[in-house]
Structure 1
Amino acid sequence: MRLMTIPETSPGLSGPYRAVWRWHFYAGILVLPVLMLMALTGGLYLFKTEIDGLVYGRMAHVEASPSTTAPDRWVVSAETGTGGKVANLVVPAPSDEAVRLTVNLPDGGKRTAFVDPHDARLIGVTPFGGVMETVKQLHSLTLIGPWANYLVEIVAGWALILVCTGVFLWWPRGRDVGVVAVRASSPGRRPFWRDLHAVTGLYAGAVIAFLVVTGMPWSAFWGDQYMAFVKDNGLGRPKPPAGAFAHADHQNAPVGVGWTMEGMVMPGDHATARPAPRLSTVVTAADGRGLPRPYTVSIPADPSLSWTASRVIQHVEDTRIVYIDGATGAVGADLRWGQFGVGAKAFEWGIAVHQGTQYGWMNRYLMLGGCIAIWVLSISGIVMWWKRRPPKLSKGRIGTPEVPPNPRVRAAVLGIVLPLAILYPLTGLSLIVALLVDRAVCAARRLAY
């Protein structure tokens, strides 16, 4: 069968339609590999607890016992067995779970140590975070380098352009479009893949857009701008009842406190005669305040800073962070969900839903469906292009429809992409680059002919 391209003046296809189709195609080229990787790793991360249980179950579980040793012995055991310094740990709730401690090594590396809370026996040591930490770094592209966070933001913006242009292309206009079910029966023909692509986008587009938008706060540029706006307008972090928050460097930053409170520390009591800070003092204080287990305790490298105990949560309404003086056990702040501003609540709620924890199994599988849909859309898009590609991929032709240069065409494209380019500036900059490349390619083709 001879593969045909769409003629430059295909009947029934308006200029705006072809222009939007062209940029839908380009958006797919730009983001498809990264988007598929993020969908795969994001789908795996939804099952972090189950995967960790399968890989590290032998070390993570201990024989239940009503008695426990002093928490300070957990730290001694982990540091003796690894030669490092404990930075934080998770105090477990069930009596059959091990304590997980993050240890900073002298060479700058990290390890996760598992200690039996009943006898302080070191059960085992793994690379920091284990398998799921690698999945997380692949998802955020941090394995490539710190600059990759900007790439994630650009890809997310283009993914939104894909969704919006896809809706435009699907929308019924009195033609045979706007399908709501796969009508073609033969997978060997292009109409089957076209229908599959359209139907998948129709039912999963909103979920994909939600995943993209709620992932944006993690980004280096847009996320920082959002948090700055929230902070400047009093919509974010709660005010401490005593003392003041300070922004800590990396080695003192608490973990498990959510993105709103990331890096926020509180000075401890500056009395001259102070005992040495101890984990046992902090655990006793946290338990005494009724902080439900499991909770994460962060140990600052600076002894003048308070320790942080933050509840391990599934639902954002259960958020609770307690700042405790490691020497005296005095509580400097006890923060709860109701004290956060509306901007911070929106931020944290979006992250919880994005990670599939906020609304139980339904939330998790809905997000998984979005991840699977990205793969279906990507594969069906590739197959459709392959079936309609030019006979020879040469002379700058790759199968995209030609667009007549007129104001109506430009208005159709700009009406979709310009608001997103303004909302997400890095995407806007990449769009300008893409436009310049497109103009250059078109000019080169005209010269060639």
Structure 2
Amino acid sequence: MSKVTQPWQDGPALSDSWRRVWRWHFFAGLIVMPVLMLMALTGGLYLYKTEIEGLAWRSMAVVEARDTRASADLWQKNAEQAAGGTALAVVVPDRPDRAVQVRVRTDHGERTVFVDPYDGQVTGTVGGQGIMELVKKLHSLELLGKPFNILVEVVAGWAIILVATGLFLWWPRKGRDVAVALPRPGNPARRPFWRDAHAVTGLYVGGIILFLALTGMPWSAVWGDRFMNVMRESGLGRPPAPAAASPWSHGKGHNAPSGTGWTMEHAVLQAPTEGPGMLSRVIATAEAEGMGAPYTVSIPADPTLAFTVSRVTRKAEDARSLYVDGSTGRVVADLRWEQFGGGAKAFEWGIAVHQGMQYGEINRLIMLLGCIGIWVLGISGGTMVWKRRPRGRGITPPPAPPGGRGRAAVLGIVLPLAVIFPLTGLSLAVALGAEWLWGRMRR
């Protein structure tokens, strides 16, 4: 009589710990892999933001370089007239043949207006901040609504669980196949081919996925805000305001500065008003202070607030924010990388690497490899599960060991993450509750 092989348990006997971890690796992939693949796709596109925008905006962004620039106040005036709104920020380019970009708030949303810096003429407008802003909001899930940004923390936490449980399953042990470290020839029609593809890909890009998940946490709605507050209160984040300036305030809406980075996000300073603020005066001060282009000038709606000039950087250590009194041109504060706390420096560095900028092209290619790897893992994992499903039935999870056996291995992996990332812990509790309820319903 031939031996009947169970769909989820062919080959050598599996330990209870291995089976339990395998089951949760399956659940983690089922829960977050579709969202993770969406974030990988949008993140991969965003790595090439400069190139994509250069192609999309070429007809509006390229101008003829000349000797003399028009007044920055004329840039602002013409941009506001063209879009029918109020200027929020101005991006001054680092190339003489590129247009100035003016973000304008209108009754129907934001528009970006391109202005020739030499004669002040408008060369074109686009809705919002262009297609890449749409990609960015989809990447952070903000496009689906602000509450969905909370999912970033949940997805990042479960991505870490995926990597940790995957490494546990891959690790060689007595009685099991030798862990796969190199691709082996196989037939794509058979499950072992996809199993090896999944294992090898996870082995080499798992570290990148782990890094992306951890460095993406500062953007999460819950953990990111709490961590930023801890950094501020401990002195490891934003530096204190200069003695001659007012204390830091939290700018919202039109008053929130642009391009200041994670550490200085929403940070604004008061400035004594002696008259109307002028963009041309602020830019003259920034250039006299040696602010390197490209840089963004944020124009506050509140006349008592200083203008913020932030350098558009690629390397974290090039960060600089200049606060200027728009009515006098006086520098209220000049903050640089050296003044950041240790925690802020670590996270600014992590964000720059996450965005593929800190170490040039090799950095970008490694992050792109991680994005591609997520898709390979999603496709290979899905194909493997589909091929291994019980005959005549849909996709089902690997069976759990009897009783609570093997749970220690899972809890050892997920409990530390649940403590560090509360939303991940909450989602884990929901998943455990759902598993228990499903078991009761089946019985």
TM-score, structure 2 normalization = 0.96
Closer/same/farther in 2, CA of residues 209 and 356 from structure 1, 3 Å limit: same
Alignment check: 8 A CA contact 1:8 1:402 kept = no
- In structure 2, the residue matched to 1:404 is 402
1:177 deviates by 3.5
Give the letter for the 1:213 counterpart.
L
Give the residue type in structure 2 aligned to 1:366: I
SS in 2 for 1:167: helix
1:440 is aligned to 437
Partner of residue 226, structure 1: 227
Aligned to 2:143: 143
Within 5 A, what are the aligned runs for 1:143-162?
Answer: 143-162=143-162
1:63 aligns to 2:64 (yes or no): yes
Aligned position for 2:218: 217
Partner of 2:270: 267
2:126 corresponds to which residue?
126
Distance 1:41 1:5 in 2: 39
Deviation at 1:293, TM superposition (A): 1.3
Give 1:5 deviation, angstroms: 4.5
Give the conservation status (yes or no) of the 8 Å contact 1:46–1:356: yes
Q: Which shifted more, 374-383 or 3-12?
A: 3-12
Q: Tell me, what secondary structure is at the counterpart of 2:280?
A: helix
Q: CA shift at 1:275, angstroms?
A: 3.0
Q: CA deviation at 1:7?
A: 5.4
Amino acid paired to 1:14: S
Root-mean-square deviation (CA), in Å? Answer: 1.5
Letter in 1 for 2:424: T
SS at match of 1:356: coil
* 1:152-199 deviation digits (Å, cap 9, x = unpaired): 111111111000000000000032141101224211111110000000
In structure 2, distance between residues paired with 1:392 and 1:229: 54
- Residue identity in the other structure for 2:415: L
1:413 correspondence with 2:410: yes
Match for residue 258 of structure 2?
A: 255
Q: Pairwise mapping of residues 23-422 of structure 1 onto structure 2 (< 5 A)?
A: 23-107=24-108, 109-174=109-174, 175-241=176-242, 242-243=244-245, 244-270=247-273, 274-393=274-393, 398-407=396-405, 409-422=406-419
Whichever residue aligns with residue 424 of structure 1, its letter is F
Distance 1:314 1:9, change over 3 A: closer
Deviations 1:240-289 (A, max 9, x none): 2221221112210100111111111111124xxx2321111001100111
How many Å apart are 1:405 and its aligned residue? 2.0
Compute the displacement of 1:33 (Å).
1.0
The answer to whether the 8 A contact 2:313-2:319 is kept is yes
Alpha-carbon distance between aligned partners in 1 of 2:316 and 2:420, rounded to the nearest angstrom = 26
Paired amino acid for 2:120? A
Normalising by structure 1, we get a TM-score of 0.95
Letter in 1 for 2:401: V
Contact 1:6/1:399, CA 8 A, preserved across alignment: no
Partner of 2:427: 430
Within 2, Cα distance between the matches of 1:312 and 1:263? 16
Distance 1:399 1:6, change over 3 A: farther
CA contact 1:6–1:401 (8 Å) conserved in 2: no
- Return 324-333 or 398-407, whichever deviates more: 398-407
Cα-to-partner distance string for 1:17-63 (whole Å, 9 max, x where unaligned) = 00000000000000011000000000000000000011111111101
Q: 2:361 & 2:263 partners in 1: Cα distance?
A: 25
Question: What amino acid is the match of 1:250?
Answer: G
Q: Is the 8 A contact 1:36 1:375 kept in 2?
A: yes
Label 1:38 to 1:101 Cα distance change in 2 as closer, same or farther (>3 A).
Answer: same
* Residue pair 1:5, 1:389 contacting (<8 A) in 2 also: no
Structure 1 segments of 4+ aligned residues over 6 angstroms from their partners:
none
Per-residue CA distance 1:210-262 (angstroms, 9 max, x = gap)? 00000001101110111111111111111222212211122101001111111
**What percentage of aligned pairs have identical amino acids?**
56
**SS of 2:209 mapped into structure 1:** helix
Distance in 2 between the 1:36 and 1:25 partners? 16
Unaligned stretches of 5+ residues in structure 2: none
Alpha-carbon separation, structure 2, partners of 1:302 and 1:365: 42
Could you tell me which amino acid in structure 2 is paired with residue 269 of structure 1? P
CA distance in 2, matches of 1:123, 1:4: 69
Q: Distance in 2 between matches of 1:8 and 1:295?
A: 59
- Aligned residue for 1:217, secondary structure, equals helix
What is the rounded CA distance, in whole Å, between the counterparts of 1:249 and 1:158 in structure 2? 32
CA distance in structure 1 between the partners assigned to 2:403 and 2:284 by the alignment: 72
User: Deviation of residue 151 (structure 1)?
Assistant: 1.2
Matched residue type, 1:31: V
